[in-house]
Copies of this chain bind each other. A is one copy, B any other.
Amino acid sequence: MSAPPNPYTVRRIVKWGECDPAGIVYTPRFLDWVLEAAESFFAEVVGVDWFQLNQKYGLGSPSVSVKLDFRKPIQFGQPFTIEVLVRRLSRSTITYAMRGRNGAHELCFEAELVSCIVNHAQMKSVAIPDDIRQPILAYQAATAAVLEKDAAA
């Protein structure tokens, strides 16, 4: 039996300035976290940071669409995690599925982000280069069981 897959996970704490006068996280901050999680995933799992993508590859990864579903408030001062999975990988797009969980591992929010790899100069979609595609495919294979478990739930 193999070890359980280990999804890429970002750990954070809610900051004072991320909360609104009602004392809860101001909605747009969740999307800041989602983009920062995709950015870290790219740098650490793909091995290319977004600056290198821009300058070495001449590519960019603008967003095509975003979905956010809020399940439960995240408490200030409590650490929480964002798990990053890859739901689909097409010729030019990456569909991330993310889950934010509190310290008790309860689901607090879900996000889906579709990013498109484009030629930076023309802003036209291109085939994802192989040295970027391969680590994403490998990650997707290694974490497939996590997504399947979710789909079954």
A residues apposed to B, CB below 8 Å: 15-17, 19-24, 26-28, 31-32, 34-36, 39, 43, 49-52, 54, 60, 62-70, 73, 76-77, 120, 123
How many protomers of this protein does the assembly include? 4
Residues of B within 8 A of A51 (CB): 16, 21, 23, 76-77
CB distance from A141 to the nearest CB of B (A): 27
Q: Which residue of B lies closest to A65 (CB)?
A: B69
Whether the pair B62, A22 counts as a contact (CB closer than 8 A) is yes
Asked if A22 and B120 sit within 8 Å, CB to CB, the answer is yes
The answer to whether B32 touches A17, judged by C-beta atoms less than 8 angstroms apart, is: yes
Inside 8 A of A120's CB, which chain B residues have their CB? 22
